[in-house]
Amino acid sequence: MNQVNIMSIQFKTYILEDSTYKGGAKKIVMPQGIEVHKLSSNENPLGYSPKVRQALMASLDELSQYPDNTDIRLRQALVKDFDQALSEDHFITTNSGSEIIDLISKAFLGEGDTVIVSQPCFLPYTAFTRWMGATAINVPMTTNFEYDFEGILKAISDSTKLVFLASPNNPSGTYIPKDVLEDFMNKVPEHVIVVLDEVYRHFADAPDYVTGLPFVKQNKNIIAINSFSKTYGLAGLRIGYCYAPLHISSYMRKICKPFLLSSMALEGAIAALEDEEFVQETVDLVRTERAFVLHGLKELHIKYWPTQGNFVMIQPPISDTELVKQMEQKGIMVRPVGNFGAPGKVRISFGTRAANNAMLDALEAAIKQKEVTT
């Protein structure tokens, strides 16, 4: 059998670096009688819409056939969901919100380019940048986990192509007020594109919260990223989208592949957009349980940061690894976010009332165990 000398292959050094995004853990298995509550991946506690199930079942007979050549039907559904504020050409869909980030990186980045990120943040911002040979420059968030926009503007150079922002931000849950984002958009140089990750936008209820929509309508250089994984509960179907001004979206579409979306993802996403009642039920649950959990954390004297997402980031009373271990022993899955750029912190998703009660009980037990051992 012939052997290949891999040393002769011209590997790209920046791809050889360890920059692989590692998602949350799969659901743990516990002894019989212990219920598992997965509060580590910001998933929808209600599952997904019954209309999605019907659409998926109806599409099963067509799995032997290629799906639609384009995503036009889904983009038309998005136009309706956005109350006709944008045209179908403003939207681009892909297999997950993460792939939108990948598409943006391929479209705008190359060797020698730079992007601005602010940690703690979603890991693909930096990993996907590196895959293109570009460099991510970190302008850290403030101690209150707000963006340092003055620092970002100072860090922008001629080589800067993108600035990644998230509102609400993962993992901190903090958001960018409307007047702050407007001021930044007016100051950012014209050669820079702002990438606004708004996948948690449905859960935000702050009166001064803003999405990327008004800036797209003003033809600003901005791309707003969205996903069907959170509000719509379709994390397993892997589907996301973005919207941007036409001069950006038309350019990005040139590298979109035909038959990109599977037939099930396409039908599931369209059905999910149609079920406004399920979306509202999800939003109402998250906002109600967010208030409940934050009150419980306050009662336990656990430090947390104000959140507009379907999760909260806490400073645990013990080490993050020890807390995760103790919580898992009681069937509660939470996520340490040191690799997001928030060492020692833990992110907890909001679940059903039963799941949240179990989580708070487990946190209280961890506190009491710490008191006993100290």
CATH code assigned at 337: 3.90.1150.10
Question: Which residues are within 8 A (CB) of 126 and not within 5 positions of it... i.e. 6 or more apart?
Answer: 19, 117, 136, 138
Buried b (16+ CB within 10 A) or exposed e, 96-119: bbbbbbbbbbebbbeeebbbbbbb
Shared domain for 117 and 231, answered yes or no, is yes
Candidate from 146-160, 171-185, 245-259 with smallest mean pLDDT:
245-259
53/181 Cα distance (integer angstroms): 38
Shared domain for 160 and 206, answered yes or no, is yes
Q: Report yes or no on 327 lying in a domain.
A: yes
Give yes or no for residue 4 having a pLDDT over 60: no
Classify the phi-psi angles of 337: left when phi > 0, otherwise alpha if psi is within -120 to 50, otherwise beta. Answer: alpha
Which pLDDT score, from 0 to 100, does residue 9 have? 65
Q: Report yes or no on 228 lying in a domain.
A: yes
Domain with 41 in it: 24-47+277-373
Residue pair 230/48 in contact by the 8 Å Cβ criterion? no
Question: Which residues are within 8 A (CB) of 121 and not within 5 positions of it... i.e. 6 or more apart?
Answer: 164, 166, 169, 170, 340, 341
Question: Which residues are within 8 A (CB) of 329 and not within 5 positions of it... i.e. 6 or more apart?
Answer: none
Buried b (16+ CB within 10 A) or exposed e, 282-296: bbebbbebbeebeeb
229/235 Cα distance (integer angstroms): 4
154/139 Cα distance (integer angstroms): 10
Q: Model confidence over 124-158: pLDDT tens digits?
A: 999 999 999 999 999 999 999 999 999 999 999 99
Shared domain for 209 and 130, answered yes or no, is yes
274/55 Cα distance (integer angstroms): 11
Shared domain for 86 and 203, answered yes or no, is yes
Shared domain for 169 and 259, answered yes or no, is yes
Domain count, the chain: 2
Q: What is the CATH number of the domain that holds 231?
A: 3.40.640.10
Q: Is the pTM of this model over 0.85?
A: yes
Q: Report yes or no on 78 lying in a domain.
A: yes
Percent of the chain with pLDDT strictly greater than 90: 80
Q: Model confidence over 18-50: pLDDT tens digits?
A: 555 555 566 666 566 678 899 999 999 999 999
- Residue 226, beta-bridge partner list: 241
Q: Report yes or no on 269 lying in a domain.
A: yes
Which pLDDT score, from 0 to 100, does residue 1 have? 45
Shared domain for 187 and 315, answered yes or no, is no
Shared domain for 35 and 109, answered yes or no, is no
Domain boundary pick from 209, 242, 274: 274
Question: Which residues are within 8 A (CB) of 79 and not within 5 positions of it... i.e. 6 or more apart?
Answer: 86, 87, 88, 91
Shared domain for 214 and 240, answered yes or no, is yes
Shared domain for 270 and 283, answered yes or no, is no
